[in-house]
Amino acid sequence: MNLIIDVGNSFVKLAVFEKSKLKHKEVVELKLILETTNVLKEKYPAIKRAIISSVGNLSESVVNTIGKSFDVMILDSEVKLPFKNLYATPNTLGVDRIALVCASVEQFPNNNVLIIDAGTCITYDFVTLKNEYKGGAISPGIRMRYKSLSNLTANLPLLDSEIPKSITGDSTNESIHSGVVNGILKEIDGVIEEYNRLYSDLTVILTGGDANFLSKQLKSSIFANSNFLLEGLNFILQFNSNE
């Protein structure tokens, strides 16, 4: 069994896989990571290996403590990967994006795949049918857009995400919802349309924390999978263990 640890800025996603099957998943605050890994160790004694993917601040002491219980792999640009990385600056490619690309290679081999991760930022990553990673794009996510309107102006309120009632907002709040949400939907649909124009037989994956909020509103045909990154991390661990 494998333990997957995906560390963000404030929260940690932990998952347990038996081969390729997800057995357990939970999200905890960063400060609870050691307590939670100990609980999972007791609950799933068959866990032998772990992979840590961190875009947040994970101390070396925490990593060393986890390493006392499991054979730990730290995901970075030096790890052996199942695709050809054509990114001009491969050392700057985020570990979250690496994991998403690996998931696409495993689950959609010999396909042109566009992965859209709707989280704090919206990232777009493209992999060719020859398993060549070309790169993609990064833009502000939903919460970042709401917060920037409030933080960078004097009078606009900070709102929670909400599906706009109309393209034409009839109040300040409705105008913000229309601008943020419709702006993102038009952006995503536009990016998908452009990739469809450039590449035939395109498969589009939507994942991330805002995937469920966005998926039913998009015009384009997509596969929504909230566990795609975790599945990619598990595949990396398996790939490097020759299993």
**Which residues define the annotated binding site for ATP?**
6-13, 120
The question of whether 201 is a catalytic residue gets the answer: no
Of the candidates 99, 84, 88, 90, which has an alpha carbon nearest to the alpha carbon of residue 132?
A: 84
Strand-pair partners of 124 = 116, 137
Active-site position among 71, 96, 201, 210: 96
The set of catalytic residues is 96
